[in-house]
Amino acid sequence: MAMVCLSDFEAYAKKYLPKIAWDFFAAGADDCSTRDENILAYKRIHFRPRMLRDVSVMDIRTKLLGTEISFPVGIAPTGFHQLAWPDGEKSTARAAKAMNICYIASTYSTCTLEEISAAAPSSLRWFQLYIHRNRAVSRQLVQQAEALGFQGLVLTADLPYTGKRRDDVRNGFRLPPHMKLKNLEGAFEVCKMSLLDPSVTWNDIYWLRSLTHLPIIIKGILTNEDAELAVRHGVQGIIVSNHGGRQLDGAPATIDALVEVVEAVQGKVEVYLDGGIRKGSDVLKALALGAKCVFIGRPALWGLAYKGEEGLQEVLRILQDEFRLSMALAG
């Protein structure tokens, strides 16, 4: 079967992944309203295309905090890549390097930070952090990421507790015995999400800044109030995100929340977005509304499930081609 668009990869992953893995990746919280709205919201946004603009030459490169990438799409932090492909996050890192884009590695990776770095040396990698009750564990991860050459620290702000994902509850989801959360091994009993620290506040940004020279990007912002607080607390970037609809069901679609966040920060920090990107035209809509770059979550996992690193590169190339075409046709 020819893989023509991202939904082809979705159909493949749904057919061939074990049900428990597919359900975990696909899950949204509660009724999945926010998960689905992330996608539907793009369909309500229309272009005002301009004609006769000479689109014979186009430059789709951009920069993330000063580092050039080949086009404004990166890979969002998602956990447990070995559920999709045996090489897990190593394949993800290699695909991102091959396409010259940014990959945000998750705290909940099934490969170590060392393995991820070694798989794609001198690539643009950021590290996503959950702050745990055991602060020493978080401190160690941050310092390890910096030592290994990760270039940004992404703090996820929207997970004081894990949202209720019904299929995971029904399936009694847990990692298969041969898989481990490699970065947390030995730190404590793995996969007890209750070890996340629900007492984290804005003041913890100062704590993080005391640990590292890395730029701090905060992920999970959906309102102008929180965007202003992020700027005030000295972050360098914001990812407008609702965790793929996996946390608070009834939160806005990220593309709908983007405009007020962009207006609130007034160009003081870079604003990115994840959630619901399924076509190159979605990328263009996000950029037109003020995002500097978008990050894909589930589509990256579908690419891995299809053919590992090669499948993920294919997903990214399709998005890149569709984005370039949308730019040209919109003038």
pLDDT tens per residue across span 246-293: 999 999 999 999 999 999 999 999 999 999 999 999 999 999 999 999
Does residue 166 have a known ligand-binding role? no
Reported as a pLDDT band with limits 50, 70 and 90, residue 190 is very low
The reported pLDDT for the residue numbered 194 is: 60
Query: Tokens in use for 299?
Result: 């589509």
Q: Given a cut of 70, is residue 126 above it in pLDDT?
A: yes
**Mean model confidence pLDDT for the chain:** 96
> Could you give the angle at which helices 298-330 and 89-99 cross, rounded to 10 degrees?
20
Express as a percent the part of the chain with pLDDT over 70: 97
Cα(163)–Cα(319) distance, rounded to whole angstroms? 29
In the annotation, is 243 catalytic? yes
Annotated catalytic residue, options 132, 178, 213, 243: 243
The reported pLDDT for the residue numbered 112 is: 97
Whether the CB-CB separation of 264 and 290 falls below 8 Å is answered with: no
The reported pLDDT for the residue numbered 185 is: 82
Does residue 66 have a known ligand-binding role? no
**What value does the mean pLDDT take over residues 232-255?**
98
Q: Given a cut of 60, is residue 188 above it in pLDDT?
A: no
Q: Is 277 helix (H, G, I), strand (E, B) or coil?
A: coil
**What value does the mean pLDDT take over residues 166-184?**
94
DSSP H/E element including 16: helix 6-16
CA 12 → CA 77, 203, 302, 305, distances in Å?
22, 44, 8, 8
The alpha carbon of residue 146 and the mean position of all alpha carbons in its chain are separated, in whole angstroms, by 19
Reported as a pLDDT band with limits 50, 70 and 90, residue 187 is low
Query: Tokens in use for 309?
Result: 């690193």
Reported as a pLDDT band with limits 50, 70 and 90, residue 195 is confident
Express as a percent the part of the chain with pLDDT over 90: 95
pLDDT in tens, 11-64: 999 999 999 999 999 999 999 999 999 999 999 999 999 999 999 999 999 999
Does residue 130 have a known ligand-binding role? yes
Cα(203)–Cα(24) distance, rounded to whole angstroms? 32
The reported pLDDT for the residue numbered 262 is: 98
Per-domain boundaries in the chain: 6-45+62-325
Does residue 79 have a known ligand-binding role? yes
Query: Which residues does residue 69 pair with via DSSP β-bridges, in sequence order?
Result: 62
Q: Given a cut of 60, is residue 189 above it in pLDDT?
A: no
Does residue 116 have a known ligand-binding role? no
Buried b vs exposed e over 155-178: b needs ≥16 C-beta within 10 Å?
bbbbbeeebebebbeeeebebeee
Specify the CATH superfamily of domain 6-45+62-325: Aldolase class I (3.20.20.70)
Cα(93)–Cα(11) distance, rounded to whole angstroms? 23
Cα(54)–Cα(330) distance, rounded to whole angstroms? 11
Does residue 117 have a known ligand-binding role? no
